[in-house]
A and B are shown apart, each in its own frame.
Chain A
Amino acid sequence: MSTTLKAYAVRLFPQVAALAVILLMVSIAFPGFFKLEMQNGRLYGSLIDILNRGAPVALLAIGMTVVIATKGIDLSVGAVMAICGAVAAAAITSGHSLAMTLLITLGTGILCGLWNGILVAVLDIQPIIATLVLMVAGRGIAQLITEGAILTFNDAGLIFIGSGALFGLPMPVVIWLAFGLLVALLVRRTALGMLIEALGVNRRASMLSGVSTGVLLIAAYVLSGLCAALAGIIAAADIRGADANNAGLWLELDAILAVVVGGTSLLGGRFSIAASLIGALIIQSVNTGILLSGFPPEFNLIIKAAIIVLILVIQSPRAQSAFVFLSRARAPVKKTAGEAK
């Protein structure tokens, strides 16, 4: 068992290290950064803020990780967020109960995922094109639902999802942590993870080995749609309204970035949901950190890009083999891994 734990540690080390370095850098520029305080049974502080603000991207990254592991990509998640936010707002304002509203909204996300999945798995359309369809159409659909305006609501229950607190943590944080854990357990405690990885590396060989590649592919996009629905509800609940034009705008790119920073290859195969979640936190830490450090806002995007380039360079196969080379040059004798129990 300790070998598995060690494998996890090795896998997650670059992401954890990058996150730690970024947090340290921010804390130097902004001394009160690590301070946490309890008020009215809820934690407050910059760190909590990062966890809270990062919720939509973290949720999207969960689904995106699985989709990318199948050698696909889901460009529609931002638009699906907008659709689901609009559906939630429309349902609650037209008098549905909170439970019904959530059911309808999550169902909408699943439906969107099903659409993408069928285009990819059954019609065999390239994922980037298949999901582009809904990315473009999605905002239009959302605008139709909200009738072009920002659809506001005042339901306390729905608002709680965006700004309430549970166990001292903001509700969005609880949701993405719980959902991330749930999905991670689902893929790793069952054989789903291995089958998805096999499908992502070689779809035809997996099919010939009896893997139900079609069902798995559709399931991956459905999961991604479900994640987008959760993120859409949080985004709408946060501003107490559905903004069809801006909800989830460009977040699909942040989600893809989170997965890539998390070290999952766009070529499919090996994936780690934990690493993608840390990736999402890295992105949010950079965003929050730049704001807190008081840089002029026009620098934000450029600094963010520079930091991400740095992380990707550290992860690149070339750099990794250089590290291996250097470490071997220092210790030229030992080479007896593998047989360890």
Chain B
Amino acid sequence: MQASTSILSATAIDKIFPGARALDGVDFSLQRGEVHALLGENGAGKSTLVKCLTGAYRRDGGRILLDGADVDPQSTLEAQNLGIGTVYQEVNLLPNLTVAENLFLGRQPKRFGFIDSREMNRRAKALLAEYDLDIDVTAELAAYSVAVQQVIAIARAVDLSGKVLILDEPTASLDAHEVAMLFRIVRRLKERGLGIIFITHFLEQVYDISDRITVLRNGKLVGTRATADLPRRDLIAMMLGRELVQEVAAEHGAKGEGGEVRFRFRNFGRKGHIQAFDLDVRRGEVVGVAGLLGSGRTETAEIMFGAERADSGTAEADGRALDLSSPRSAIREKFGFCPEDRKVDGIIGDLSVRENIALALQARRGWARPISRSEQDRLADEYIRALDIRTSDREKPIKLLSGGNQQKAILARWLATNPDFLILDEPTRGIDVGAHAEIIRLIESLCEKGMSLIVISSELEELVAYSSRVIVLRDRAHVAELVGNQVTTDGIVEAIAASAGRVDA
């Protein structure tokens, strides 16, 4: 039945990278007028497959048929001309050009050899009208929200290509309302007969919009199913290759209330960053931090870790005053910090997994007392095994690992220093379901071992699952502390929304 309706079909695609087989004989077919979700954990081969389809990578084997004809795109431009358009998570348009210029970049309507702006703006307006978007097309792209930019990117891709549209995590930075808007547009494009490939980590959205699901794992095809016939639990099993012990955040384990108060922050703050706050953290306790973007969550973490120096207040552990004036001194006090922006603040991209894991411990020991190579190897192997970091070997540059595995390696860097107090800023952002569950389990087990943790997350169900208390932030101040049975998603949402204060997300 495929032959007649399939618009794009790929058979036995192979892609080999030095040291790894990223795709191993993967089959994939996309029909006219369907939304096809492409799922898998990070590192499963989703992006590699998409890049092979769009010509960003050369495939090492297999055939690609578009409308029944063999194609072999050498570049994304060629794929675009063939009819395959892609919209990425980070909108790859030019923020300093106008909306119309972005839509018609490289194919501006000309008049006497000059760009005909009026004609271009008129056409841009007409094009966006098809998407129910009535905006000023002469304004700079940067003036609009990510959601609008996303729609503009889709409009451009569809206008250029028109057969296949690939959406690579388009919803990652959108709120629920914007996602609904985006999905309306996707449904309309589907009715027009486009084949749409949709990549995401959000399973609810998969069930909301997709007709069929293809799951990849470790570069191999696990299967393609109709969405309606695939229960959520089976889907997760397909993705993880094992029965998930608990679906993420579905059930609340018994949360330890923790032991005695160990860390005491009093009137701790810094002008212009975060208003002074008081906070007690018990031994073996997870304190969650919730709030909207820009509410002071990351600032709270940075000031506790000395990345920004506090200008008021004191911090003590077991009654002893702590020196948190710099990350170096915080680390000496057995603090650890996994930052929010893994790529910028976390990983040392060119260095190996081994060196990334050993770094904080080595920095604490000082340059004159090197950790021997055999000790580093042992340390790296131990954490690669314990945290199930997927890497071909410990000498692989960490930038080549998938996001979830990078995050685990950064966690390993801190666990190697054997900290008493660990601050995790968005530890599960941009991570696939499998790694997500593993990291949550890890947080719970660290807590059981008596470590004190501060976890910042915008996933409220997740916070509720492991925190014994939740601090709520608004406008760079701690505004509420939820304890006991107040710790529910509704409770947190209510606390965030409590005042009529402006929402600067």
A and B associate in one complex: yes
* Interface-side segment among B34-42, B130-138, B365-373, B470-478: B365-373
Q: In the complex, are the beta carbons of A269 and B328 less than 8 A apart?
A: no
Of A197, A208, A269, the contact of B307 (CB 8 Å cutoff): A208
Q: In the complex, are the beta carbons of A324 and B18 less than 8 A apart?
A: yes
Of B18, B363, B392, the contact of A210 (CB 8 Å cutoff): B363
Q: Return chain B residues, CB-CB under 8 Å to A338.
A: 19, 392-393, 395-396
Q: Return chain B residues, CB-CB under 8 Å to A195.
A: 362-363, 367
Q: In the complex, are the beta carbons of A269 and B344 less than 8 A apart?
A: no
Q: In the complex, are the beta carbons of B348 and A210 less than 8 A apart?
A: no
Q: Return chain B residues, CB-CB under 8 Å to A133.
A: none
A residues 288-341 in Cβ contact with B at 8 Å: 324, 335, 337-339
B85 on the A face (CB < 8 A): no
A194 to B361, CA, bound (A): 12
Q: Return chain B residues, CB-CB under 8 Å to A94.
A: none
Q: Return chain A residues, CB-CB under 8 Å to B367.
A: 190-192, 195
A206 on the B face (CB < 8 A): yes
Q: In the complex, are the beta carbons of B370 and A191 less than 8 A apart?
A: yes
Q: In the complex, are the beta carbons of B327 and A191 less than 8 A apart?
A: no
B residues 9-60 in Cβ contact with A at 8 Å: 16, 18-19
Of A201, A207, A339, the contact of B351 (CB 8 Å cutoff): A201
Of A201, A210, A337, A339, the contact of B364 (CB 8 Å cutoff): A210
Known A-B contacts A190-B368, A204-B345, A205-B345; A211 and B350 likewise in contact (beta carbons under 8 Å): no
B364 vs chain A, min Cβ distance (A): 6
A260 to B395, CA, bound (A): 24
Q: In the complex, are the beta carbons of A212 and B349 less than 8 A apart?
A: no
Known A-B contacts A198-B351, A204-B344, A269-B350; A209 and B393 likewise in contact (beta carbons under 8 Å): no
Known A-B contacts A191-B367, A192-B367, A195-B367; A270 and B328 likewise in contact (beta carbons under 8 Å): no
Q: In the complex, are the beta carbons of B371 and A198 less than 8 A apart?
A: no
Q: Return chain A residues, CB-CB under 8 Å to B344.
A: 202, 204-205
Q: Return chain B residues, CB-CB under 8 Å to A211.
A: 328, 359, 363
Which residue of chain B is the closest to A7 with respect to CB atoms? B395
Size of B's binding interface in residues, CB under 8 A: 38
Q: Return chain A residues, CB-CB under 8 Å to B337.
A: 208
Residue among A192, A208, A209, A335 with most chain B CB within 10 A:
A209
Which residue of chain A is the closest to B392 with respect to CB atoms? A338
Known A-B contacts A210-B328, A210-B331; A205 and B393 likewise in contact (beta carbons under 8 Å): no
Q: In the complex, are the beta carbons of A209 and B413 less than 8 A apart?
A: yes
Which residue of chain A is the closest to B337 with respect to CB atoms? A208
Q: In the complex, are the beta carbons of B327 and A210 less than 8 A apart?
A: yes
Q: Return chain A residues, CB-CB under 8 Å to B364.
A: 210
Q: In the complex, are the beta carbons of A207 and B327 less than 8 A apart?
A: yes
A189 on the B face (CB < 8 A): yes
A residues 168-216 in Cβ contact with B at 8 Å: 189-192, 194-195, 197-198, 201-202, 204-212
Which residue of chain B is the closest to A268 with respect to CB atoms? B350
A216 vs chain B, min Cβ distance (A): 8
Known A-B contacts A198-B359, A204-B344, A324-B18; A209 and B327 likewise in contact (beta carbons under 8 Å): yes
Q: Return chain A residues, CB-CB under 8 Å to B258.
A: none
Residue among A4, A194, A206 with most chain B CB within 10 A:
A194
Q: Return chain B residues, CB-CB under 8 Å to A202.
A: 344, 347-349
Q: In the complex, are the beta carbons of A194 and B331 less than 8 A apart?
A: no
Which residue of chain B is the closest to A337 with respect to CB atoms? B19
Q: Return chain A residues, CB-CB under 8 Å to B360.
A: 209-210
A324 vs chain B, min Cβ distance (A): 6
A198 to B358, CA, bound (A): 11
B421 vs chain A, min Cβ distance (A): 14
A192 to B367, CA, bound (A): 5
B355 on the A face (CB < 8 A): yes
B450 on the A face (CB < 8 A): no
Q: Return chain A residues, CB-CB under 8 Å to B328.
A: 210-212
Known A-B contacts A335-B19, A339-B393; A270 and B365 likewise in contact (beta carbons under 8 Å): no
A335 to B367, CA, bound (A): 36
Known A-B contacts A191-B371, A195-B367, A338-B19; A208 and B351 likewise in contact (beta carbons under 8 Å): no
Residue among A205, A324, A335, A338 with most chain B CB within 10 A:
A205
A334 vs chain B, min Cβ distance (A): 11
Q: In the complex, are the beta carbons of B348 and A205 less than 8 A apart?
A: yes
Residue among B18, B367, B368 with most chain A CB within 10 A:
B367
Q: Return chain B residues, CB-CB under 8 Å to A208.
A: 305, 307, 327, 337, 339, 345-346
Q: Return chain B residues, CB-CB under 8 Å to A212.
A: 328, 363
Of A4, A189, A191, A201, the contact of B348 (CB 8 Å cutoff): A201
Q: Return chain A residues, CB-CB under 8 Å to B345.
A: 204-205, 208
A327 vs chain B, min Cβ distance (A): 10
A256 to B347, CA, bound (A): 28
Which residue of chain A is the closest to B396 with respect to CB atoms? A338
A78 to B360, CA, bound (A): 37
Q: In the complex, are the beta carbons of B347 and A205 less than 8 A apart?
A: yes
Q: In the complex, are the beta carbons of B355 and A198 less than 8 A apart?
A: yes
Q: Return chain A residues, CB-CB under 8 Å to B396.
A: 338
Interface string of B289-320 (1 = CB under 8 A from A): 00000000000000001010000000000000
Which residue of chain B is the closest to A215 with respect to CB atoms? B367
B333 vs chain A, min Cβ distance (A): 11
A4 to B395, CA, bound (A): 12
A206 to B393, CA, bound (A): 23
Known A-B contacts A208-B327, A210-B364, A338-B393; A201 and B19 likewise in contact (beta carbons under 8 Å): no
B residues 67-97 in Cβ contact with A at 8 Å: none
A90 to B124, CA, bound (A): 74
A194 to B363, CA, bound (A): 10
Residue among B348, B362, B368, B369 with most chain A CB within 10 A:
B348
Which residue of chain A is the closest to B394 with respect to CB atoms? A338
Q: Return chain B residues, CB-CB under 8 Å to A270.
A: 350
Q: Return chain A residues, CB-CB under 8 Å to B18.
A: 324, 335
A208 to B301, CA, bound (A): 12
Which residue of chain B is the closest to A199 with respect to CB atoms? B348
Which residue of chain B is the closest to A195 with respect to CB atoms? B367
B residues 332-388 in Cβ contact with A at 8 Å: 337, 339, 344-351, 355, 358-360, 362-371, 373
Of A192, A201, A204, A339, the contact of B349 (CB 8 Å cutoff): A201
Q: Return chain B residues, CB-CB under 8 Å to A339.
A: 393
A205 to B347, CA, bound (A): 7
A residues 190-247 in Cβ contact with B at 8 Å: 190-192, 194-195, 197-198, 201-202, 204-212
Q: Return chain A residues, CB-CB under 8 Å to B355.
A: 194, 197-198
A248 to B386, CA, bound (A): 55
- 14 contacts across the A-B interface (CB closer than 8 A): A191-B369, A191-B371, A192-B367, A194-B358, A197-B351, A198-B355, A202-B347, A202-B349, A205-B344, A206-B359, A208-B345, A209-B360, A209-B413, A324-B18
The 10 A-B pairs at the shortest CB distance, nearest first, are namely A338-B393, A210-B363, A191-B370, A210-B331, A209-B360, A211-B363, A269-B350, A201-B350, A191-B367, A192-B367
- A210-B328, A338-B396 known; 4 other A-B pairs, CB under 8 Å? A191-B366, A198-B348, A210-B363, A211-B328
Residues of chain B having any CB pair with chain A under 8 Å:
16, 18-19, 305, 307, 327-328, 331, 337, 339, 344-351, 355, 358-360, 362-371, 373, 392-393, 395-396, 413
